[in-house]
């Protein structure tokens, strides 16, 4: 890369290379300075160091003293350190060169060789790398700086958008600066602050939109700004003028996905990184070499002409850095210098990649802390540098220090603009690792300050039950919207990047779910605003009338009826997606790789069921509200009508949901099991999965069993890191008989399964587990008998030929070395798989889960903040917790895109603390599995009861206790045990 023509070349001096002969006619001297005087002072400064002026994203300026011979990295480090910027690799310092083009400061090159007069040059902090979704930014402070970058781009005309979108962005900027709408304050602020080039033209529209943001916090405004900006075609685009081979003027730009070509402000082409083989430049020519299959072998090189070699090289360097940052896993190594001759540039990207940055912030314990910017009274409009920004730990109390001199770079003052950086402990104090993933989030902050915060919150916020029910709607809606984004944002990005999905399927999938996602974005905003008014945390003048939720629910449940046709299409979407993944190898690969990403914390197709399942949640929560309210309450009628509306939609979709949940489970198992094809055969229903011990020649061996409406599978766990299970036996249900046999085999909780060609003996982990299996097996056998239809595929009792065995032989399975080796080979062909699915939890906890348990778990999803404490620790930690699929998922805040840890609940017991636990707080519940103990503290009696309720539903799926005796399932002719074993009974089965 960076090729030059010829084998030898006279190198330019730094002065000529940077264009010393070019006279821009613009002085960079300070007012009152002369050229000779500056040169003298400049020469003196070499003895005492350089003073560099840096402008922050809020336009405040700071001076930095550096060594004259310093590289760019020490200056960058000092700027980031003084600003306490954790996710620093997204940012850089830029300056204008002699051609008045903005150029990035290179970290590995001396500043004096990059900038002609550093002491008289203004460097400005700017966003260098724009991620496709700003939600990937883990620090709220980083999102705040990104929103300031959007503000700058709007004003400089880089972020091109319609006037209406510009007004919307400006309205969120106003909300973040002065708080809720006030006519006089809005006009004063817009008069004194320029947000848009055409601001006067759309001022009334800005104010009208600002009025709608009632109760929105500054941090939420920042998030909205980035959500709007990321969807614009010009988001993060920096133009580099060029011309194509025909001489047509175009603009080149680079983004996370590759190179973009614009004509004017219209994007006419995009070259993904996956299609590009090489980037290079030769003098003024910028060359893009594509893989032959993209444009054919005779058109694999695209050529663009730029104004100069320097501009060509500047753009090439930016491309190299963007490619390294977004596409590489690890930081590239510097190119070793040649001893005699050099060819090409040795330039390499020198920072962390995005993947490394995300892991660094997460693993090194940089606290992802929400912040709250203090909004000054309307009587005076302060400049941004005067407006204080308060950052509070999750475990600290909000405070405001009156220090208007505070600068974003000031780390010595009483209040810092950015979160402090602390290392966290990534271990469970005094505990051995959990059988599965244990929550390893750190304990941060002061316990005393956390107590203060909780006490203050309880005094400020409402305490009535209706408020907490309404808050449950809000918190679960936040999680639901994040779940939708797994499909609408993350999965879409994955399939587009690799061009893996046919256009027809893309249209079917996203045209079906995008409108639902957009509706719920608006709905969430309404809920958030109403709860803000209910809590009184906005500056709204009237509070009492907003302490209700029924009107918001009724309005949106009525609107939701319009999406019934979209929801009814989910059956087709799920089916077509499954067919396409079987048919298209590229899509199957992208699908499997995406499921391994942390953002996809559940099986991917589970997220497609969320819209219908969410209807059931609305129904249950509204029922709870209606039960709480008296008929005379002003919110009762609206809640009742809203319940009526959602119940009508839910009734229409109930049968579809049952069918979809079954299909989803079958497709999930199809991916997780090796040795079974066509598991999603029509008419097949999933009934139960779980761990049993099978009697073999080696004794009792752990096996995973899967019961369907037509057969019973048993499997062993894979011997490689794939975490998949290999099928060893398939037993048809038709004609099967189950018999308790503890006494015969002297094994506790033991029962025998007699199938058409095979008999096996299994043991459960407890009497309850045995009862659940016997009951479900007998129920499935009865259904198979009543259907009067024998299975179209009568599967062999064991993989391989077992026809020689005598019919009365009890199977004592013994795997040979060949079997193990073939299993290993088969498994190694598979990609690494998730280890936190229900089947793996059942395997580790020696338990089982039925389809009815799954359906119940779907109804009992819950989200919200909880305080967590380990058994042997002193402090409490505030976490955003999501309960779904029999598991607790832990996040630092509700805005995080993926969980940092998880805790599967199957096998755990939930209770209130005992006296010996020394927990003297209210609303605390205790989770325990063997020696693993966790305490969680809720904010109210209602939320405490709800968490206890949903966790009990997952932790103790005990099922019905009635143990069906084997004689009840025998035929009415009272066959003897021996007759049953040798299968000579002629009774009609």
**DSSP class per residue in 643-702:** HHHHHHHHHHHHHHHHHHHHHHHHHHHHHHEES---TT-TT--EEEEEEEEEEETTEEEE
Region 360-373: what's the mean pLDDT? 58
Q: What's the pLDDT at 299?
A: 60
Q: Which of 706-720, 810-824, 852-866 has the lowest mean pLDDT?
A: 810-824
Q: What's the pLDDT at 569?
A: 85
Region 695-710: what's the mean pLDDT? 89
Task: State how far Cα 541 lies from the chain centre.
Answer: 37
Q: Which of 149-153, 169-173, 294-298, 358-362 has the lowest mean pLDDT?
A: 294-298
**843: alpha, beta or left, given left = phi > 0 and alpha = psi -120 to 50?**
alpha
Alpha-carbon span 814 to 817, nearest angstrom = 10
Residues 6+ apart with CB under 8 A from 570: 512, 608, 609, 611, 612, 656, 660
Given a cut of 90, whether residue 794 has pLDDT beyond it is no
Q: Do the beta carbons of residue 471 and residue 531 sit within 8 Å?
A: yes
Region 663-667: what's the mean pLDDT? 89
Q: Which of 16, 107, 691, 522 is nearest to 352 (CA)?
A: 107
267 three-class SS: strand
DSSP string, 550-587: HHHHHHHHHHHGGGHHHHHTHHHHHHHHHHHHHH-HHH
Q: Do the beta carbons of residue 491 and residue 604 sit within 8 Å?
A: yes
Q: Which of 637, 597, 598, 665 is nearest to 850 (CA)?
A: 665
Given a cut of 70, whether residue 247 has pLDDT beyond it is yes
Q: Which residue has the higher pLDDT, 424 or 886?
A: 886
When computed from its CA atoms, the radius of gyration of the chain, rounded to whole angstroms, is 33
Alpha-carbon span 119 to 48, nearest angstrom = 12
Q: What's the pLDDT at 351?
A: 78
Average pLDDT, the chain: 75
Q: What's the pLDDT at 360?
A: 82
| Domain 239-331+350-354 part of CATH 2.30.29.30 | yes
Q: What's the pLDDT at 614?
A: 92
**3-state SS string for 868-892:** EEECCCCCCEEEEEEEECCEEEEEC
Region 1-17: what's the mean pLDDT? 32
Q: What's the pLDDT at 519?
A: 92
Alpha-carbon span 564 to 574, nearest angstrom = 16
Alpha-carbon span 307 to 197, nearest angstrom = 28
Q: Which residue has the higher pLDDT, 540 or 194?
A: 194
The highest-level CATH class for domain 50-127 is alpha beta
Q: Which of 373-377, 744-748, 941-945, 985-989 has the lowest mean pLDDT?
A: 985-989
Q: What's the pLDDT at 210?
A: 93
pLDDT (tens digit, 9 = 90+) per residue, 32-74?
443 333 333 333 344 467 888 999 998 888 899 888 888 888 9
pLDDT (tens digit, 9 = 90+) per residue, 470-516?
999 999 999 999 999 999 989 998 898 888 999 889 889 998 898 99
Given a cut of 90, whether residue 705 has pLDDT beyond it is yes
Given a cut of 50, whether residue 734 has pLDDT beyond it is yes
Alpha-carbon span 642 to 556, nearest angstrom = 8
Q: Which of 604, 842, 801 is nearest to 715 (CA)?
A: 842
Which residues belong to CATH 3.10.20.90 in the chain? 50-127
Which residues belong to CATH 1.20.80.10 in the chain? 134-230
Alpha-carbon span 724 to 468, nearest angstrom = 42
Alpha-carbon span 166 to 155, nearest angstrom = 10
- Of the pLDDT bands very low, low, confident and very high (cuts 50, 70, 90), residue 923 is very high
Q: What's the pLDDT at 284?
A: 86
- Of the pLDDT bands very low, low, confident and very high (cuts 50, 70, 90), residue 449 is low
Region 449-462: what's the mean pLDDT? 55
The highest-level CATH class for domain 861-962 is mainly beta
- Of the pLDDT bands very low, low, confident and very high (cuts 50, 70, 90), residue 670 is confident
Which residues belong to CATH 2.30.29.30 in the chain? 239-331+350-354, 675-791, 861-962
Q: What's the pLDDT at 512?
A: 87
Region 856-873: what's the mean pLDDT? 85
Q: What's the pLDDT at 134?
A: 79
CATH of domain 465-537+546-668: 1.20.900.10
Q: What's the pLDDT at 346?
A: 59
Given a cut of 80, whether residue 410 has pLDDT beyond it is no
Q: Which of 414, 396, 419 is nearest to 404 (CA)?
A: 414
Q: Do the beta carbons of residue 105 and residue 92 sit within 8 Å?
A: yes
**92-to-147, 348, 644 alpha-carbon distances in Å:** 16, 16, 55
CATH of domain 134-230: 1.20.80.10
Q: Which of 846, 833, 986 is nearest to 907 (CA)?
A: 846
Region 727-736: what's the mean pLDDT? 88
Tokens of 212: 């709608």
91 three-class SS: strand
Region 771-786: what's the mean pLDDT? 89
Given a cut of 50, whether residue 101 has pLDDT beyond it is yes
pLDDT (tens digit, 9 = 90+) per residue, 136-161?
788 888 999 999 999 999 998 889 99
User: Quick count: other Cβ atoms within 10 Å of Cβ 787?
Assistant: 13
Region 9-24: what's the mean pLDDT? 32
Given a cut of 60, whether residue 790 has pLDDT beyond it is no
Q: Which fold has domain 675-791?
A: PH-domain like (2.30.29)
Q: What's the pLDDT at 451?
A: 55
- Of the pLDDT bands very low, low, confident and very high (cuts 50, 70, 90), residue 426 is very low
β-bridge partners, 372: 390
Alpha-carbon span 175 to 152, nearest angstrom = 17
Q: What's the pLDDT at 455?
A: 54
Q: What's the pLDDT at 332?
A: 62
Alpha-carbon span 806 to 799, nearest angstrom = 17
Tell me the percentage of the chain whose pLDDT exceeds 70. Answer: 72
- Of the pLDDT bands very low, low, confident and very high (cuts 50, 70, 90), residue 813 is very low
pLDDT (tens digit, 9 = 90+) per residue, 254-310?
998 889 999 888 888 888 888 888 888 888 888 888 877 644 544 678 889 988 888
pLDDT (tens digit, 9 = 90+) per residue, 318-355?
998 898 888 887 666 655 554 444 455 656 677 788 88
Given a cut of 70, whether residue 460 has pLDDT beyond it is no
β-bridge partners, 272: 258
pLDDT (tens digit, 9 = 90+) per residue, 869-917?
888 777 889 999 999 988 999 998 888 888 988 998 888 889 999 888 8
Q: What are phi and psi of 114, to 5 degrees?
A: -105, -35
Q: Which of 38-52, 163-177, 400-414, 662-676 has the lowest mean pLDDT?
A: 400-414
Sign, CA dihedral 957-961-966-968, equals negative
pLDDT (tens digit, 9 = 90+) per residue, 601-642?
998 888 999 999 999 999 999 999 999 999 999 999 999 999
Alpha-carbon span 281 to 304, nearest angstrom = 9
Given a cut of 60, whether residue 198 has pLDDT beyond it is yes
Given a cut of 60, whether residue 807 has pLDDT beyond it is no
Given a cut of 70, whether residue 867 has pLDDT beyond it is yes
DSSP single-letter state for residue 198: T
Given a cut of 90, whether residue 372 has pLDDT beyond it is no
Q: What are phi and psi of 893, to 5 degrees?
A: -135, 165
* Residue in the structure block whose two tokens are 């969120």: 172
Tokens of 508: 């079917």
Q: What's the pLDDT at 300?
A: 75
Cα-Cα end-to-end distance for the chain: 75
- Of the pLDDT bands very low, low, confident and very high (cuts 50, 70, 90), residue 417 is very low
Alpha-carbon span 795 to 780, nearest angstrom = 17
């Amino acid at each position: 890369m960076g090729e030059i023509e010829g084998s030898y070349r006279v190198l330019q001096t730094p002065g000529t290379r940077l264009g010393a002969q070019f006279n821009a006619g613009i002085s960079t001297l300070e007012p009152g300075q002369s050229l000779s005087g500056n040169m003298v002072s400049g020469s003196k400064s070499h003895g005492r160091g350089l003073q560099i002026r840096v402008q922050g994203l809020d336009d405040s300026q700071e001076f930095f003293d550096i060594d004259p011979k310093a590289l760019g990295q020490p200056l960058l480090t000092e700027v980031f350190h003084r600003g306490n910027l954790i996710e620093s690799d997204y940012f850089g310092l830029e300056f204008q060169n002699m051609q008045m083009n903005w150029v990035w400061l290179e970290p590995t090159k001396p500043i004096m060789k990059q900038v002609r007069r550093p002491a008289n040059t203004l460097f400005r902090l700017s966003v260098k790398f724009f991620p496709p979704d700003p939600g990937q930014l883990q620090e709220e402070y980083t999102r705040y700086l990104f929103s300031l970058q959007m503000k700058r781009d709007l004003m400089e005309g880089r972020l091109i958008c319609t006037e209406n979108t510009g007004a919307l962005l400006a309205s969120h900027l106003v909300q973040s600066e002065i708080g809720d709408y006030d006519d006089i304050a809005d006009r004063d602020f817009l008069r004194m602050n320029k947000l848009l080039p055409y601001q006067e033209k759309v001022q009334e529209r800005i104010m009208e939109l600002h009025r709608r943001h009632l109760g929105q916090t500054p941090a939420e405004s920042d998030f909205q700004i980035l959500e709007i900006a990321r969807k614009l075609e010009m988001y993060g685009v920096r133009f580099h003028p060029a011309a194509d081979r025909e001489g047509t003027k175009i603009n080149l730009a680079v983004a996370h996905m590759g190179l973009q070509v614009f004509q004017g402000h219209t994007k006419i082409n995009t070259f993904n990184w996956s299609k590009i083989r090489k980037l290079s430049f030769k003098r003024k020519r910028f060359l893009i070499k594509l893989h032959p299959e993209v444009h054919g072998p005779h058109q694999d090189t695209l050529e663009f002409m730029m104004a100069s070699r320097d501009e060509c090289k500047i753009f090439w360097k930016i491309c190299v850095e963007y490619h390294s940052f977004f596409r590489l896993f690890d930081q590239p190594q510097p190119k070793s210098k040649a001893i005699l001759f050099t060819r090409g540039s040795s330039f390499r990207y020198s920072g962390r990649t995005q993947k490394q940055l995300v892991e660094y912030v997460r693993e090194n314990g940089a606290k992802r802390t929400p912040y709250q910017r203090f909004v000054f009274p309307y009587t005076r409009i302060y400049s941004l540098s005067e407006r204080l920004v308060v950052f509070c730990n999750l475990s600290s109390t909000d405070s405001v220090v009156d220090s208007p001199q505070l600068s974003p770079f000031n780390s010595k003052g009483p209040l810092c603009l950015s979160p402090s950086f602390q290392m966290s402990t990534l271990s469970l104090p005094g505990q051995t690792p959990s059988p599965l993933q244990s929550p390893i989030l750190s304990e941060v902050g002061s316990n005393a300050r956390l107590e203060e915060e909780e006490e203050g919150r309880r005094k400020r916020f409402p305490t009535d039950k209706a408020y907490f029910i309404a808050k449950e709607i809000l918190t679960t809606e936040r999680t639901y919207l994040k779940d939708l984004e797994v499909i609408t944002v993350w999965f879409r990005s994955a399939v587009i990047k690799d061009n893996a999905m046919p256009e027809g399927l893309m249209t079917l999938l996203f045209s079906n779910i995008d409108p639902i996602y957009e509706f719920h974005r608006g709905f969430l905003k309404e809920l958030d605003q109403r709860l803000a008014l209910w809590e009184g945390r906005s500056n709204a003048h009237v509070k009492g009338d907003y302490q209700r939720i029924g009107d918001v629910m009724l309005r949106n449940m009525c609107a939701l009826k319009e999406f019934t046709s979209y929801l009814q299409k989910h059956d087709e979407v799920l089916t077509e997606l499954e067919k396409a993944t079987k048919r298209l190898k590229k899509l199957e690969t992208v699908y499997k790789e995406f499921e391994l990403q942390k953002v996809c914390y559940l099986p991917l197709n589970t997220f497609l069921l969320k819209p219908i399942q969410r209807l059931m949640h609305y129904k249950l929560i509204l029922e709870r509200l209606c039960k709480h309210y008296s008929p005379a309450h002003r919110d009762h009628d609206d809640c009742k009508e809203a319940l009526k509306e959602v119940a009508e939609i839910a009734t229409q979709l109930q049968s579809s949901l049952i069918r979809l949940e079954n299909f989803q489970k079958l497709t999930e198992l199809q991916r997780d099991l090796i040795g079974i094809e066509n598991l999603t055969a029509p008419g097949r229903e999933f009934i139960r999965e779980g761990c049993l011990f099978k009697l073999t020649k080696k004794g009792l061996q752990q096996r995973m069993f899967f019961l369907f409406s037509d057969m019973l599978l048993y499997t062993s766990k894979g011997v490689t890191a794939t975490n998949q299970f290999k099928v060893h036996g398939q037993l048809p249900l038709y004609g099967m008989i189950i018999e308790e046999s503890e006494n015969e085999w002297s094994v506790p909780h033991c029962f025998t399964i007699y199938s058409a060609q095979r008999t096996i003996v299994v043991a459960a982990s407890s009497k309850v587990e045995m009862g659940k299996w016997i009951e479900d097996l007998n129920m499935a056998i009865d259904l198979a008998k009543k259907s009067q239809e024998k299975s179209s595929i009568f599967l062999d009792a064991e993989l391989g030929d077992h026809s020689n065995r005598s019919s009365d032989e009890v199977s004592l399975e013994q795997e040979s070395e060949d079997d193990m080796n073939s299993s290993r080979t088969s498994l190694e062909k598979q990609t690494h798989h998730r280890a936190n699915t229900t089947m793996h939890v059942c395997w580790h906890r020696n338990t089982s889960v039925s389809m009815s348990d799954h359906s119940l778990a779907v109804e009992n999803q819950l989200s919200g903040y909880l305080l967590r404490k380990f058994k042997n620790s002193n402090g409490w930690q505030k976490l955003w917790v999501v309960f779904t699929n029999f598991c607790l998922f832990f996040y630092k805040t509700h805005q995080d895109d993926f969980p940092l840890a998880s805790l599967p609940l199957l096998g755990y017991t939930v209770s209130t603390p005992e006296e010996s636990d020394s927990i003297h707080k209210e609303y605390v519940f205790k989770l325990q599995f063997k020696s693993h103990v966790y305490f969680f503290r809720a904010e109210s009696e209602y939320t405490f009861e709800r968490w206890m309720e949903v966790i009990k539903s997952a932790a103790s799926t005990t099922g019905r206790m009635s143990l069906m005796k084997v004689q009840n399932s025998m035929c009415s002719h009272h066959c003897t045990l021996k007759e049953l074993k040798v299968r000579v009974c002629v009774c009609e089965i």
